[in-house]
Amino acid sequence: MQTAEIRRRFLEHFAARGHTVVPSASLVSPDPSLLFTVAGMVPFIPYLTGREPAPYPRAASVQKCVRTLDIEEVGKTTRHGTFFQMNGNFSFGDYFKEGAIQHAWDLITGPVDDGGLGFDPDRIWVTVYLDDDEAAEAWHRIAGLPVERIQRLGKKDNYWHTGAPGPGGPCSEIYYDRGPEFGPEGGPLVDLAGDRFLEIWNLVFMQYELTDVRSKEEFTVVGELPNKNIDTGMGLERVAFLLQGVDNMYEIDEVAPVLRRGAELAGVTYGKDRDADVRLRVVADHVRSGLMLIGDGVTPGNEGRGYILRRLLRRAVRSMKLLGVDDATLPELLPVSKDAMKASYPELETDFARISAVAYAEEEAFRRTLTSGTALFDTAVATAKQAGAPTLSGEQAFSLHDTYGFPIDVTLEMAAEQGVTVDEQGFRALMKEQRDRARADARAKRTGSVDVLAYRRLLAEHGPTDWQAYDTLRTDSRVLAVVAEDEGPQVATAGEIVRVVLDRTPFYAESGGQVADAGVLAWDGGRAEVIDVQRPVKGLVTHQVRVLEGELREGAELTAEVDYEWRLSACQAHSGTHVVHAALRQVLGPQALQSGSYNRPGYLRLDFAWQGALSQQQRTDIEDVANAAVRADHRVTASYMTLPEARAFGALALFGETYGEQVRVVEIGGPWSRELCGGTHVRGSAQIGTLALTGESSVGSGARRVEAVVGLEGYRYLARERDLVRQLAELLKSPQDGLVDRVGGMLARLRDVDKELAELRAQQSVAAAGQLAAAATDVDGVAVVTGSPAGLGGGDLRTLALDVRGRLADRPAVVLLASESGGKVALVAALNPAALERGLSANDVLRAAAAPVGGRGGGKADVAQGGGTDPAGIPAALQAGEQAVVTATGR
């Protein structure tokens, strides 16, 4: 049975039993404490914990998940993988243990012809919590399981909680007996390795309120929950390999094709060599994970999710290289993975142009990194071994990572292969310092130095802020709190900067790439300037203000008013971002999808997936399409719907963003631009005003950035360019429409002049070389030439010195030249092989000459070069260099 078919049967089974089928949430977790969605229940946590009312009494989903804690173990065993799918059914105060057991049993043992999975009931075992007699009795009564196949385990195995005070309860796990060839009899209790009795489904009975949670097994049960919940998880890959009759998840239909193609490229046979098998499993797992992560909008980077993705892709590429494949491999492997997964996720097919562009660019960048980084790594290893301490320092590993882009995991793997250790602790410490600096900056932006718990207490006490930024620029508000670093009620006086929480506000809080509003708070006898607005916790808006006059205290009644011009310019920039995005997709194609943006009044920038710089014609076309949309005065509207409805409506969900059940869809010109967005916008596209592209650049492999100005800033930008053209035309005495030809002609003439000057310098150098060589003095059989030609830079002076040296090939020769140019001194010492045989060194001569001109330098024994800052010392420098020759020859 194919994996996509198992998935379909699971969802249809629960849909027929009154469950709302919920699409998989993104792999990008909405929980800020998680990088990725790591379990099927993550999207339902607010409902399971009671923080939010569930929109349905029962639900079912097949959730995409990624876990990377054991990434180094992937491939070494057949159990570990990074991407997996979790089938789950959930009840929010509806059915409980009996219902969960009945639904599970009906599906796993139901006949295949009736939509079931067809597992043999006689090979099913279950475990329950030690004293959960209710669950044990239900399994015996509903499923007819004999008592000996219902085993009891303790809290470590059969009890669930979040690790914090809140809901928890016993669980029941369902196992499948793979047969005596995989291990001894006796059920899960005796099969500690889990090779014979394989867990396929876990049913969590969330029925108690827990407190004083100290560990997995240490907590206090307060009492029963008023509403008991069900949370289950069935491992789709595990069920698939059992139903497909293969040995492990790497051999199922959604993974094995990549493994087989990798083996073909490497010319190896899977199952013949352990090391090759490990590498092929790494490739199969990581290529699939990379495909799914890019599909959900993650792009390679050096932090967070981006770093995990980069690590997965690069481990796959390097594994293929270790298998002997030197050519690019992702173009061979990624399409295979897409074809294997598209039955379950059709969007992979439609979005593959973008996905593949990101992945292939990352492989190409890594191949370049491997070339340069490996050379640096080899040098560092050789130096460490010569020093007798085969360890790379944390600084060396950090330099390889930070300066040359060499991932630490690759450094660790290569070091282990060479028998060298790495000071990983030192590396991690340096990385932590770097991240802490960045996080401190971001944290200060959101909350200042205030503990986020203070904001959570305010939210719990007063509820969410009445946020009216979409509807008005002015509200009558009350101060709920004046928040500062120390505790207690705060009063802010003139000149102080504090953070203020209001019961309602018209101010837009920074989010989605749009900066916060500016404006004022005004009250009887006082006024404050709003300089920033943030959301430190979901639902609460804080205002950073500078008190201009009077006293601002808790409980004050005031007027909050947004600066109209600021908001208008911000709306122009944000709507302009949507317009530019739509123009990019119209000119370049749908793969040019936005991956990030920033807009402030009058200015916008937009990052998008694309390979290579845009041509001037493409930039012109994008600007033309955008301005045509502005002139058309498309209507700008916003509507609310569910996320599935928005996707069906054709709205673009921007990567890296997380969305709730209800989303806001902003349209400009109907389907021409239709995006999920929480920002503020103009009423019609003509309000954007002038739109001018000002820049286009790279922001990483497979990603470009365009910048633009809009509205009054756009007009000013074009006005400045107009004035610049006018001034140049006047300066060059040329009509404006002939300016390009005039400048082009001038540049051509300058190139001709430069060529003539170069030829003259060469002639002068030849003449000077002959004169200098002819003036050589003899020092104990060594021809010594010193001279100070004026106006030569280091490169020209070196050329001259080598020319002079070449004219003295018939005897030992030392050439020392010094030249002053622009108040600086250039020095060059050059020796021929015969002088080297006499024991002379260009370094010694140069060091002696450098001191009188306040300089230094160095090089090889035959040629050394340096400089100084005191031109007056040149005669003394030449004399000192000649004296060094005298001393060295023993004259």
The tens digit of pLDDT for each residue in 487-531 reads 545 788 999 999 999 999 999 999 888 999 999 999 999 999 999
Q: What is the pLDDT of residue 253?
A: 95
336 & 410 share domain:
yes
Q: What is the pLDDT of residue 325?
A: 92
410, part of any domain: yes
Q: How far is CA 45 from CA 206, 230, 676, 750, in A?
A: 12, 12, 23, 70
Residues in a beta bridge with 235 = 86
**574 marked ligand binding residue:** yes
- pTM (two decimals): 0.64
- Nearest Cα to 589, choosing from 351, 804, 418, 818? 351
162 & 295 share domain:
no
Residues in a beta bridge with 311 = none
52, part of any domain: yes
Q: What is the pLDDT of residue 503?
A: 95
553: containing domain:
461-562
- Nearest Cα to 620, choosing from 710, 673, 693, 721? 693
CB of 580 closer than 8 Å to CB of 692:
no
Q: What is the pLDDT of residue 446?
A: 45
| DSSP three-state, residue 344 | coil
CB of 104 closer than 8 Å to CB of 13:
no
Q: What is the pLDDT of residue 108?
A: 96
Boundary of a domain, candidates 246, 277, 304: 246
274 & 421 share domain:
yes
749, part of any domain: no
Q: How many domains does the chain have?
A: 5
Question: For residue 436, what pLDDT band results from cuts at 50, 70 and 90?
Answer: low
The answer to whether residue 219 scores a pLDDT higher than 60 is yes
Q: What is the pLDDT of residue 488?
A: 47
727, part of any domain: no
27 & 123 share domain:
yes
The answer to whether residue 655 scores a pLDDT higher than 60 is no
Look at 212-226, 261-275, 666-680 and tell me which has the smallest mean pLDDT.
Answer: 212-226
- The string of pLDDT tens digits covering residues 342-386 is 999 998 998 898 889 889 988 888 887 777 677 777 777 777 777
Q: What is the pLDDT of residue 485?
A: 58
Q: What is the mean pLDDT of residues 404-425?
A: 76
Q: What is the pLDDT of residue 547?
A: 94
Tokens of 555: 């409980």
User: How many contiguous H segments (helices) and E segments (strands) does the chain have?
Assistant: 25, 34
Neighbours of 403 (CB within 10 A): 10
- Nearest Cα to 11, choosing from 27, 22, 26? 22
Q: What is the pLDDT of residue 491?
A: 86
**581 marked ligand binding residue:** no
Percentage of residues of the chain with pLDDT beyond 90 = 57
The answer to whether residue 633 scores a pLDDT higher than 60 is yes
Rounded to the nearest integer, the mean pLDDT of the chain is 88
The answer to whether residue 442 scores a pLDDT higher than 50 is no
**H-helix or E-strand spanning residue 664:** strand 662-668
Question: For residue 762, what pLDDT band results from cuts at 50, 70 and 90?
Answer: low
**462 marked ligand binding residue:** no
139 & 52 share domain:
yes
744, part of any domain: no
412 & 479 share domain:
no
Question: For residue 403, what pLDDT band results from cuts at 50, 70 and 90?
Answer: low
428 & 497 share domain:
no
- The string of pLDDT tens digits covering residues 855-889 is 888 888 899 999 899 999 999 999 999 999 998 88
756, part of any domain: no
| DSSP three-state, residue 616 | helix
697 & 810 share domain:
no
197 & 325 share domain:
no
The answer to whether residue 441 scores a pLDDT higher than 60 is no
The number of CA neighbours under 13 Å toward the Cβ of 848 is: 22
450, part of any domain: no
Q: What is the pLDDT of residue 450?
A: 58
* Greatest distance between any 2 Cα atoms in the chain: 114
The answer to whether residue 263 scores a pLDDT higher than 90 is yes
Boundary of a domain, candidates 519, 542, 562: 562
Tokens of 223: 């009492």
558 & 578 share domain:
no
| DSSP three-state, residue 268 | coil
| 493 contact partners, CB below 8 Å, separation of at least 6 | 547, 550, 551, 552
Q: What is the pLDDT of residue 558?
A: 96
Q: What is the mean pLDDT of residues 198-211?
A: 92
Percentage of residues of the chain with pLDDT beyond 70 = 94
503 & 631 share domain:
no
**161 marked ligand binding residue:** no
736, part of any domain: no
Residue 109: CATH number of its domain = 3.30.930.10
Residue 313 sits at the vertex; the CA angle it makes with 311 and 317, to the nearest 5 degrees, is 115
Q: What is the pLDDT of residue 31?
A: 65
240 & 279 share domain:
no
Q: How far is CA 666 from CA 328, 637, 682, in A?
A: 41, 6, 11
Q: What is the mean pLDDT of residues 122-150?
A: 95
| 694 contact partners, CB below 8 Å, separation of at least 6 | 707, 708, 709, 717
Q: What is the pLDDT of residue 32?
A: 61
